[in-house]
Amino acid sequence: MAKLKVLLASSEVVPFAKTGGLADVAGSLPLALEELGVDIRVIMPKYASVKIAGNSTKIGKNIPVYFVENDDYFNRKELYGDKFGDYKDNLDRFAFFSREILERCKKEGFAPDIIHCNDWQTALVPVYLNTLYKYDIFFIDTKVLYTIHNMAYQGIFSKEEFPKMGLDWALFHINYFEFYDKVNLMKAGLIYSDAISTVSPTYAKEILTQEFGCGLEGVLRTRSNVLSGILNGIDYNLWSPEKDNKIFKKYSVETLRDKYVNKEMFQKEMGLKVDRNIPVFGMISRLADQKGADFVADIIDKMLNMKTQFVLLGTGDNKYHVIFEKIARKYPQSASISLKFDAVLAQKIYAASDMFFMPSRYEPCGLSQIISFKYGTIPVARQTGGLKDTVQEFDPKMGKGTGFTFVEPRSEDLLSAVKKSLSVYKDSPLWTSLVKSVMGLDYSWKTSAKEYINLFNRIMKK
């Protein structure tokens, strides 16, 4: 049987360029697909961060990664914008990238069964396939899967920019690109793709509603028959306390006491009171309303007065920088606030914390709760999107569940979840059994990759 041929197109891919979870998916999913026998290739822009000579390299055992070169567009420090906002030529940049994806296929003699597009930056690929390349025999059997990683980022531009895409003005129409008199790339991508997926089963349902659809819920409802949700996985070669060289001491379920060695050494390093019995709440997040940073800010005084500690790593809205800097000054032995990006510190926080905050207003998938499981750190999370799919409320009587949850987006509900976690934490044998059970959960890419292959095969049969 011929190998399934897939080209994954993404504007960011680990380890070459990253701003968020999309890069993790684009760097990890291909490795799992290769293991399952797929002829998988990856394509991305060649940014300044890509330190590879030439226009291709390999990852995994033998996965080609193609780089689209254009120094005027991509040889920049940041991917999508700078401190002044989004780059003004983003439509030019990613229209060029989308055209080049198709041209590169022809140049490499690789006619994919599936082009797997991701987010608005590649939304023009299915459009071009169905317009400019409609009668190109090279792509006669090529289908497109379009994956939404976050509905909030849709690629919206002024209608004056429409000609930059090289398309007929007739497509500036409510049935295609037009969105409140603007150009919406994601909208067109959703309409022209053969199938649509998103990064968790719950988020796939949520985006059909006004609350989570960000104005495209109507379009999505018309395509709900080809919409599915596949949960993201993580790469346990990168995220495992048994293999992690960045933490103070490696540990496993069998050597769980060493987690608390990490905790004490971390407390010492961050200037917190050193005591392994004090519960530590960790949070690694963009500081924004979407992530529920305001809920944490609202309850932080009450929480720290319950003899707990709080460790934060992240950057974001200035108002939260001000709030959390004030907290750090007020509680020097109980709160450690690091307003920056630091990959090593992140791994230490996963290893040293007892609980992990994810109080998001919405969360398409979320990787942090899945990483925290592996490190034996228990999520305190809102039931939304991928968090709802992965974090089940712990029942102390039954000893079943994987974390502590709340439903309504309210500070007081987060505080209730914190109190539930503290009451279980006080019962040391019960807490230890919970920690060991979450460390044994399997959210590797292998399971998700099989689901993608099933989806690819379904698309090809249409």
Question: Residues 163-180: pLDDT tens digits?
Answer: 999 999 999 999 999 999
Same domain, residue pair 225 and 294: no
The pLDDT score that the predictor gives to residue 82 is 85
Beta bridge partners of 58: 64
- The residue segments making up the domain with residue 430 are 257-439
Would the pLDDT of 83 be above 90? Answer: no
* Angstrom distances, CA of residue 272 to CA of 98, 336, 421: 49, 7, 21
Residue 251 in any domain: the answer is no
Would the pLDDT of 450 be above 90? Answer: yes
CATH number at residue 432: 3.40.50.2000
Residue 398 in any domain: the answer is yes
The pLDDT score that the predictor gives to residue 1 is 64
Same domain, residue pair 202 and 76: yes
Same domain, residue pair 93 and 37: yes
Tens-place pLDDT, residues 231-269: 999 989 889 999 999 999 999 999 999 999 999 999 999
Which contiguous run of DSSP H or E holds residue 297?
A: helix 293-304
Can you tell me the mean pLDDT for 210-214? 96
CA distance 403 to 393: 5
The mean predicted confidence, pLDDT, of the chain is 96
Same domain, residue pair 390 and 454: no
Same domain, residue pair 24 and 123: yes
Would the pLDDT of 333 be above 80? Answer: yes
Closest CA to 279 of 242, 311, 327, 239: 311
Same domain, residue pair 95 and 57: yes
Residue 113 in any domain: the answer is yes
Residue 394's pLDDT band (cuts 50, 70, 90): very high
- Using DSSP bridges, classify how beta strands 280-284 and 309-313 pair: parallel, antiparallel or unpaired: parallel
Residues 6+ apart with CB under 8 A from 239: 350, 371, 374, 375
Q: How many distinct structural domains can be found in the chain?
A: 2
Residues 6+ apart with CB under 8 A from 150: 119, 364
Can you tell me the mean pLDDT for 433-437? 98
Can you tell me the mean pLDDT for 415-439? 98
Same domain, residue pair 99 and 85: yes
In percent, the amount of the chain with pLDDT more than 90 equals 94
Residue 248 in any domain: the answer is no
Residue 161's pLDDT band (cuts 50, 70, 90): very high
The pLDDT score that the predictor gives to residue 162 is 97
Same domain, residue pair 278 and 407: yes
Closest CA to 130 of 194, 59, 209: 194
Residue 290 in any domain: the answer is yes
Residue 249 in any domain: the answer is no
The pLDDT score that the predictor gives to residue 437 is 97
Written as one string, the DSSP assignment of 36-66 is TT-EEEEEEE--TT---SSSEEEETTTEEEE
Would the pLDDT of 150 be above 90? Answer: yes
Whether 79 and 11 have beta carbons less than 8 Å apart is answered as: yes
The pLDDT score that the predictor gives to residue 2 is 78
Can you tell me the mean pLDDT for 397-410? 96
Same domain, residue pair 181 and 302: no
Residue 414's pLDDT band (cuts 50, 70, 90): very high
Q: Is the backbone of residue 310 left (phi > 0), alpha (psi -120 to 50) or beta?
A: beta
Same domain, residue pair 177 and 318: no
Can you tell me the mean pLDDT for 403-432? 97
Same domain, residue pair 221 and 180: yes
Same domain, residue pair 204 and 285: no
- Using DSSP bridges, classify how beta strands 114-118 and 143-148 pair: parallel, antiparallel or unpaired: parallel
Can you tell me the mean pLDDT for 361-388? 96
Closest CA to 107 of 156, 55, 143, 144: 55
